[in-house]
Amino acid sequence: MDIREVLKLADQLVLEQTGKPLDYLQKTVLQGALQGKKYSEIAENHHVSEGHVRDVGYKLWNLLSEILGENITKVTLRSILTKGQFYSFSSAICMQSVTVNNVNICPETSKPQTVPQQPQQNSSRPHLDLGSAPEIFSFYGRTAELSTLERWIIGDRCRLVALLGVSGIGKTALTIRLIEQIKTHFDYIIYRSLRFSPTLALTLTNLLQVFSSEPDISHNIETLRSQLLDYLRQYRCLIVLDDVQMLWSGQLAGQYKPGYEDYHHFVKLIAETPHHSCFLLNSCDRLQEVAKLSKGNHPVRSLVLGSLGVAAKELLQAEQLADAETWETLINAYQGNPLWLELTATMIRELFAGSVSEFCEYDAPILCESLLAELSQQFQRLTEPERAILTHLAKEAEPIALPQLSQKTSLDPSEFLNAMQSLKMRLLLQEEKREKVTLFALNALWKQYVQNRYSE
């Protein structure tokens, strides 16, 4: 057996004694000690402070001393293992021999008879704190997106992943499904929505409370940040922050509201500082930090969710709609947005007895009241210049180039260009190139909404 198996054995003993397996850093320190490494070396290799590593080691040696009835220190650890003492405490665990740095510490003759299941690391006990996350009862499609996210988070060990897409496209639903799929890879999984714009201090305090029931809560944002970073290094955590766009509601996309600017530094810190965890940020608007950081070698990625595609047919089936041959038209009219389709399906059921072909006889897209209310909420988040641009774009029958649009809006040039950039970040514009000129348009559903609003 190699060091890995000694670690498993220690893990099993600690689990039996305390009800909790060794965490990532405890294993790292134990492994380093078995390999004869100095605390400073372990700390450097794993990007944690030497003091913290010493602290973890000290507590772990005390725990193992208690379990084995021997005075275990970093120095005596190896010799005690080589005496076979360790082994005698684990008679319930099947092992033929244990070698530490090629030293055999368990004689073949003392092989135990029983073979209980070895606990798999994190297999059954990630600490799940999903806060206000909604329960998802049905979930269709998104297999490619799920495997991309899993590859980035588990395979590439990304520290920061942004899941982007217009409201209702399914970011939250996909996140919950993803958590179900990858939860065994983590020590902690935490979901928090930023819908009500908590300050960074509040968010950090809230997260720290998950790790410790009596956290030493500081009022200093720097201290809170470094306390959380310590946990992100000590454990493998998946932390989901949903509805991130609310941090700049009423401002241009990515321009944090006054009092929220420290989120910008926090996002950069998460992406740039070494740790073992991953932050998944869900947002309707692109994140400037992620766009910048994903250009280099940083473990940072972003995924824009588009139409639910053919899987939306399963959703229409579950909504008990009829005339399957016309479903594709309906799906395209509502851009494969599951929320928009759900809201429209209710109208189709109530007014057309579920007949999609009868509904489609009306000029698409029809915006039912609940869908209008949804779009209205998003419109509220826009700045005045952005609203002015959308109002002009909604009147255009054809895509339009920047100079012509700029003339029509009568905004000053920098105000106009910043607002256009922001609208792009909000994924509200359609772009096409004609003879090397970029033309902009508003998608049909938004056009309908803005026209309705404008005519009011």
Binding site for Mg ion (CB under 5 A): 171-172
Binding of ligand ATP at residue 358 (CB under 6 A)? no
Binding of ligand ATP at residue 168 (CB under 6 A)? yes
Of 133 and 393, which has the nearer Cβ to ligand ATP?
133
Contact with ligand ATP (CB under 6 A): which of 171, 233, 275, 286? Answer: 171
- The entry of ligand ATP, Mg ion, none near residue 284 (CB within 5 to 8 angstroms by kind) is ligand ATP
Binding of ligand ATP at residue 169 (CB under 6 A)? yes
Could you give the string, one character per residue 117-136, with x where binding to ligand ATP holds by CB under 6 A and - elsewhere?
A: -------------------x
Question: Under rule CB under 6 A, how many of the chain's residues touch ligand ATP?
Answer: 21
Q: Which range of residues in 24-32, 171-179, 289-297, 420-428 is near ligand ATP by CB under 6 A?
A: 171-179
Q: How far is the CB of 246 from ligand ATP (least distance, A)?
A: 10
Query: Between residue 197 and residue 256, which ones bind ligand ATP under the rule CB under 6 A?
Result: 243
Q: How far is the CB of 182 from ligand ATP (least distance, A)?
A: 17
Q: Which range of residues in 22-30, 121-129, 139-147, 323-331 is near ligand ATP by CB under 6 A?
A: 139-147
Could you give the string, one character per residue 90-109, with x where binding to ligand ATP holds by CB under 6 A and - elsewhere?
A: --------------------
Of 115 and 144, which has the nearer Cβ to ligand ATP?
144
Token pair, residue 36, equals 């004869």
For residue 100, CA distances in Å to 23, 33, 57, 198, 356 come to 21, 11, 18, 50, 69
Binding of ligand ATP at residue 315 (CB under 6 A)? yes
Q: How far is the CB of 345 from ligand ATP (least distance, A)?
A: 11
